[in-house]
Chains A and B, each alone.
Chain A
Amino acid sequence: MTAHPLVVDFLIPVLKIAAVILYPLVMVIVMIWMERRVVALIQGRLGPNRVGFEGILQPAADAFKLFFKEDIIPRQADRFLFNLSPVLVLVSSLLAFCFIPLGESFRIKGYTLTLWVAESPVGLLLVLGLSSIGVFGIIFGGWASNSKYPLMGALRSVVQILSYEIPLGMTVLTVIFFSRSIDLVAIVNHQKDARIWFGFLLPVSFVVFWISGIAETNRAPFDLPEAESELVAGYHTEYSGMKFAFFYIAEYAHMVLVSSLVVILFFGGWLPPFPNVAALAFLHRIPGFLWYLAKIMFFLYLYVWIRATLPRYRFDALIKLAWKWLIPLSALNLVAVAVLRYVL
């Protein structure tokens, strides 16, 4: 018995596309709420707790407010690029979610439902490429504002993101050495077959990837492009209303994306933990999607925790960290893993 062709060819893809837009946005709302509450608790405050249950609707209320704010375009701004850049930033990070698998495919009535929109044999490459397009939005936004602080923020962000792409790329290669595929689903499946997560197999790769990931998303302690005590608000100083919200959502969506990548590449995606312990086999009954969400939430929490704890790097130290430590380290790691993989 097969499903109706209308369902298979039309309804399911449309629903999936809707989900791909909604899923990151819901995660963004949860992340904004979690960040504000967790930072507040760390600082001995309460944080937003009025709108909805424990303030869960606060991000929605904020978005509502931003939606009705006046949209100001500075007179000297380059209008085309000024309007383009928030779209570019948001679309690039949302688009990347098309290639992020959310769980194992399963069969319903003879139809295999996959939990991803687009299956690509080069999914990892596409995700990295798309998330890098966001930097153009930041550059354009900073430049088109025709203002000094945004320009400085944009300059910082170019150097920062270009520097940290290199260790990021090199650590991803070490994962590929083991999985022999750059298909994200295949990478997770490889971890299932190997019965070990790559994060434990390649701890150096994980650490370098995570540090670079924080720098890529412009988050504390690497939040120099928008360091509020120095550059006011960095590249989006001149933006207001929904355009500002686009930058804001994109930043959080990017964090969700990096967390998803860390989980998929290094922590087995939707696989339950302890595959080798027979006594814990009941963990396999919990749907993979929940494991996946729990792991992503852990890394999002880590983002918040780091932000609440550490001071900000200075620009030269940030670049030094990338070029003097992370890039040599990841290069050595790459060679070591390559040799190891050849010997094994």
Chain B
Amino acid sequence: MAFKTIDLNMGPQHPSTHGVLRLRLAVDNELVLRVEPVLGYLHRGMEKLWESQTYVQAVPLTDRLDYLASLSNNLAYILAVEKLMGLEVPKRAQYIRVILAELQRLASHLAWLGFMANDIGAMSVLLYGFEAREGVLDVFEAYSGGRLTVHGMRIGGVPFDLDERVIGLVRRALDEIPRKVADIEGLLSQNRIWLHRTEGIGVLSAADAVAYGVTGPALRASGVAWDIRRDVPYSSYGDFDFAVPVFGHGDVYDRYLVRVEEIRQSLRIAGQALENLPPGDFRARVPRVLKIPPGEIFHSIEAPKGELGFYIRSDGSDKPERVKMRSPSFLNLQALELMCKENLFSDVVGILGSLDVVLGEVDK
């Protein structure tokens, strides 16, 4: 029985396109022939907006990029500005930034774990993931007042020192998360249905991953050992002992394994940073009106979703002349068609989930 090829719109209103992504699919019954992401439903003109904000005012804009990892966005932008200024940040501030960024990675990965499992149909894991993430959000709330779009870093350092209450909350989160992640792993890692839905699905070879500019957990699941925290250390990441998990199959299951392992490594890094928190200032002296001499810079960090970079060109005023983001979700999404072709319709959902795209960052 031959079915006509159907053009199917998945999104922008669809339960599992994680926001407002629209995929134009061509399907032959259940078989997917073409996948074309249609972007722009969440476009807010971020890069243009930047040009009308001062360097300091622009920091909260980054919160709204990848809204599941706002502190990582803060860090990427601020590090780029500091590098352009040639500003040296106190060691204590660097360590606090590491703690916050790693907690943010935990929050992002835990939320991903929940979304991913929900896409595959394990509805309870969604809630378990969010419950585990709650401990991290409590830290953010106590530290800066925000939970989702946390504005928790400043040019020159961090806005507040870590007080006893926040440190207690961090310790509690670091203690609780391993147990909760173990529960989730118990439900998924050896589950036959989960294995069938993830193993060998959406394979991305190492060569293709590099060619498409895929970064982050998806790249490491394809067998490329590239982690900016280790390979081009920033913000004192060189001081910490952590492993970079790499798996070789490049399928959805390996992306799951990479992220679960990264949760453990993030716990280690945050724990080490908290134990060895150096004394001193938490903020460098920064002029109130920040004028940066003409020049240009590109700096990138390892955000939870991949390599997040900022290109900034300064014309000597207090506002950047041009800002360009290299957002990991946008580039990772480009490899979607390659992975989805000739797969079944159900797998598109799983593969898209495994890439961990956030539309705030794709559409900017």
A interface residues (Cβ-Cβ under 8 A, vs B): 39, 42-45, 148-149, 152, 155, 220-221, 223-224, 227-230, 232, 307-317
Contacts and interface: CB of A to CB of B under 8 A. Distances in A.
A43 B193 contact: no
A45 B122 CA distance: 16
A232 B14 contact: yes
B108 interface: no
22 contacts: A44-B128, A45-B127, A148-B8, A149-B8, A152-B30, A220-B121, A220-B123, A223-B121, A224-B346, A227-B121, A228-B15, A229-B15, A230-B16, A230-B346, A230-B349, A232-B14, A308-B124, A313-B196, A314-B196, A315-B344, A316-B344, A317-B193
Given A229-B119, A315-B344, A309 B196 contact: no
B118 A229 contact: yes
A312 B121 contact: yes
B144 interface: no
Contact of B193 (A232, A308, A313): A313
B127 A312 contact: no
Contact of B191 (A228, A311, A317): A311
Interface in B26-41: 29-30
Nearest to A151: B6
A149 B127 CA distance: 27
B15 A232 contact: yes
Interface residues of B, number: 31
A84 to B, nearest CB: 25
A316 B347 CA distance: 11
Contacts of A39: 123-124
Contact of A311 (B8, B122, B128): B122
B197 interface: yes
B6 A229 contact: no
Contact of A43 (B6, B121, B128): B128
Contact of B127 (A43, A223, A229, A310): A43
B29 A311 contact: no
Q: Is the contact region of chain B dominated by helix, strand, or loop, or is it mixed?
A: helix
Given A232-B15, A314-B347, 7 more contacts: A39-B124, A43-B126, A227-B121, A229-B15, A230-B345, A311-B191, A314-B344
Interface string B236-253: 000000000000000000
Contacts of B15: 228-229, 232
A221 B191 CA distance: 12
Q: Which 3 A/B pairs are nearest by Cβ-Cβ distance?
A: A312-B121, A43-B127, A311-B122
B131 interface: yes
B194 interface: yes
A117 to B, nearest CB: 37
Contacts of B187: 309
Contact of A314 (B14, B118, B123, B197): B197
Nearest to A315: B30
A341 B17 CA distance: 55
Nearest to B188: A311
Contacts of B6: 148
A174 B188 CA distance: 35
Contacts of A42: 124
B85 interface: no
Contacts of B269: none
A135 to B, nearest CB: 18
B117 A311 contact: yes
Nearest to B127: A43
Interface string B1-18: 000001010000011100
B120 interface: yes
A313 B128 CA distance: 21
A309 B117 CA distance: 11
Nearest to B9: A148
Contacts of B131: 44
Interface string B122-141: 11101110010000000000
